[in-house]
Structure 1
Amino acid sequence: MIEDWPVDPLIDIHIELLPEFGFTVQNEPVYGPGSVFQGIVHLKLKEVPVAADKIILTFRGAENATAIHNGSYFIQSLWQRTRKDCLLAETEYHFPFTIQMSVTQFPPSLEHKLYQSKFILTAKLIRSAFTLPTMMTQKEINYMPFIETSLLKKPVITTKNNNTKPFVTVKLHSLEYSNKAKRDQPAAVSSVLIELCETVGLVYHQALSTKRIVVSHLYRTCQATAACIGSEYRVQLALPIHLTPTINYSRIIKISSTTSVELPLKIGTLGYGIRASQDSQVCYVESPSNSLRFLRSLQYEEALPLYESVRLPFYQS
């Protein structure tokens, strides 16, 4: 959760994430297991000098449900005072940082009334030795795990038949879909309503769960006449790109998706046949490799210019 801290009109501190890292979903940067991303902590002082102890950067990932779980903290010191130097004398400071996520399957970033999963960067200007309030800024990181998907060798065929006419036959070529996929299913009816439902429930409180319709589409095929009996129609349901992936490894939350014909679906984040790293582990497995790492920020003097879609890159001779 984003915290509220005192505001000092003479001090401005904020976090900037560099745009060339991660991948994007709806123009927002997203990071996954093993991702490396860089950023800068900007500190602007309207009056100098300013006495301070240190400036630290904290990365925190936490799940919250009916009880509060503190999650994991990772801390890096960006600046620390010495005996001879305890003053910030410049009006502007810029502290670059580089972070590498561990190859670990954490729950995805999610805001739900039963459950929250958040990944937050926090920069603090600590002045406790001078009995001054700590100044802080936070930035939320959008995290998405790698959930594999695959096609079935034989389609799944389900028939709803109560010995009355008409009846519906559904054929699916997969029960696992990425958030960019479309589901195809033939249906023998005059109109078809397709719904994708998402269920969120707490692991230790099975009575606490919610179910909502994420997306639906009503198809009008033809009038219920003799000419339509036995007809087959191919219908599609476009899946929104912001779908929450299927999660069954969390100790707190379970997230599943189903169609309106009650076929369990798995929502993944990787395309068909794309495999996640074999070293990937869920976040509850104790392992030294699960630790996030702060890397040394390198400044490259010779590098290709950033790509801009509106103009050609400029190269210095």
Structure 2
Amino acid sequence: MNPALSIHIVPELGWTMLENQPVFGPGSVIQGHVRLADPSLLAHADRLRLIFHGSERTLYNPIHKNQFFGSQLTLWDNKQPPSMATAFDFTLQLPLVQFPPSINHDLYNCYYKLTVFLDCGGTTTFASKGVILRPFLETTRLQTPLMYGPLSIPALDYLPGDTLRINLSSPTRMRMTLEQTVAVNRAARKQKVKIVSTTSTELHLPLDLTPSFSFSPVVSVSYHLTVKIHASTGTRSVITWPIHIGTLSYGLRVDLPIYSVFSSAFDSENDGSALPLPVFLKADIDGDTLPQYEADHLPAYA
């Protein structure tokens, strides 16, 4: 972390908290401020600027790299009067577009970050802060539980942090394991990893679990639950169910465009179908605020 510069995000506007960071999604508003350790840093600076950047890449040959966007805001420049401010506010509006979730995997990375730059002549000081994004992913409730011998499962769709439960109609030894599969470049390469396993009938899903998705032309993430049953008669059986990890509660529905249907925001010859970009919103000085209330009379509304 750069001691001279830092980025702070207001957590209240996020969906939830993950690793002490708010989680955002399509259409979210991200608010925060850039802090200078010493206001005298601006005395010889050219400008202070903030960039919100999003990219994805595969990590094996052939390497695929794709920068989604790079939206920039000038917080201060030397054309403005000298400033002794140490905090510079910003408000960022995300587009209503489905992007891949933030992922740091051996085969694939997708990240979103804010970076502040302090330009001073030929030198630049910078500091970055990662932003966690998740797409809107629906979940569906089963009408009736799925049955397999003495085993039944009431749902196949869950949210990160949920508890997955199965029911047993007779005493038996068992183990259930949740596995994640990450496939890249149209399944040219896959990697399976065990996420969590238990011998009880309850499986607690990690809060930081990457959601299931397959809308990206580059990568997909899926899950399977494997249950191994050891009956008292000595027979063994194995059943596998696909598990969907979503981000929306049961009944919520969305219909948003996928990032890959748009042309690149960096294509100078796009025909108007360019990817919608995150936008830094200007501060409303007047504001849509209520008139000041006086104790001796009613406020005057325009």
Shorter-chain TM range is 0.7 to 0.9
- Residue type matched to 2:53 in 1? R
Displacement of 1:202 after TM fit?
1.0
Give the distance between the partners of 1:273 and 1:76, measured in 2 at CA. 38
Note the C-alpha offset of 1:137.
1.0
1:66-106 Cα shifts (integer Å, max 9, x gaps):
32333321112222333xx6xx8445432211011111111
Contact 2:115 2:126 in 1 (8 A): yes
Q: Does the residue aligned with 1:104 lie in a helix, a strand or coil?
A: coil
> Aligned residue for 1:285?
261
1:109 deviates by 1.1
Per the alignment, residue 273 of structure 1 pairs with 251
* 1:92-171 alignment runs, 5 A limit: 92-127=85-120, 130-131=121-122, 133-158=123-148, 168-171=149-152
In structure 1, C-alpha distance between the alignment counterparts of 2:119 and 2:45, rounded to whole Å: 6
Q: Structure 1: how far apart are the matches of 2:142 and 2:104?
A: 32
The whole-number CA distance in structure 2 between the counterparts of 1:202 and 1:38 is 33
> Hey, what does 2:242 align to over in structure 1?
264
Equivalence for 2:219 = 253
Q: Find the aligned partners of 1:36 and 1:289 in 2 and give their Cα distance.
A: 18
SS in 2 for 1:250: coil
Separation in structure 2 between the aligned mates of residue 189 and residue 25 of structure 1, nearest angstrom: 39
Q: TM-score, normalised by structure 2?
A: 0.77
Take 1:18 and 1:184, find their aligned partners in 2: how far apart are those partners? 35
Q: Structure 2 counterpart of 1:73, which letter?
A: G
Equivalence for 1:22: 14
Q: In structure 2, what is the equivalent of residue 297 of structure 1?
A: 283
Q: How many pairs does the alignment contain? A: 263
Contact kept, 8 Å, 1:61 with 1:72, in 2: the verdict is yes
Q: Secondary structure at the match of 2:198?
A: strand
User: Could you tell me which residue of structure 1 aligns to residue 183 of structure 2?
Assistant: 201
Instruction: Tell me how far apart the structure 2 counterparts of residues 46 and 182 of structure 1 sit (CA, whole Å).
Output: 49
CA distance in 1, matches of 2:12, 2:241: 39
C-alpha displacement at 1:51, in angstroms? 2.4
Q: Which amino acid aligns with 1:22?
A: G
3-state DSSP of counterpart to 2:16: strand
Distance of 2:146 and 2:185 partners within structure 1? 29
Cα separation, 2, equivalents of 1:143 and 1:298: 26
Structure 2 portions without partners, runs of 5+: 227-238, 263-272, 296-302
Deviations 1:109-154 (A, max 9, x none): 1111111111100111123xx33x1111111001111111011224
State the AA in 2 paired with 1:145. P
What letter corresponds to residue 185 of structure 2 in structure 1?
A: V
The alignment's TM-score, normalised by the length of structure 1, stands at 0.74
% of aligned pairs identical? Answer: 29
Change (3 A) 1:154 1:48: closer
Q: Indicate conservation of the 8 Å contact 1:44/1:92, yes or no.
A: no
Deviates more, 1:133-142 or 1:66-75: 66-75
The alignment status of 1:243 with 2:209, answered yes or no, reads yes
Q: How does 1:55-74 map to 2 (within 5 A)?
A: 55-66=48-59, 67=63, 68-74=65-71
In 2, Cα distance between equivalents of 1:134 and 1:71: 24
Deviations 1:218-239 (A, max 9, x none): 13xxxxxxxxxxxxxxx33222
Task: Decide whether the 8 Å contact of 1:45 with 1:90 is kept in 2.
Answer: no
Report SS of the residue matched to 1:113. coil
Q: Counterpart of 1:190?
A: 172
Cα separation, partners in 2 of 1:60 and 1:241, compared to 1, 3 Å: same
Maintained 8 Å contact 2:259/2:275: no
CA distance in 2, matches of 1:53, 1:94: 17
Task: Report the AA paired with residue 240 of structure 2.
Answer: E
Structure 1 unmatched runs, 5+: 159-167, 220-234, 304-316
How far 1:183 sits from its partner (Å)?
Answer: 2.8
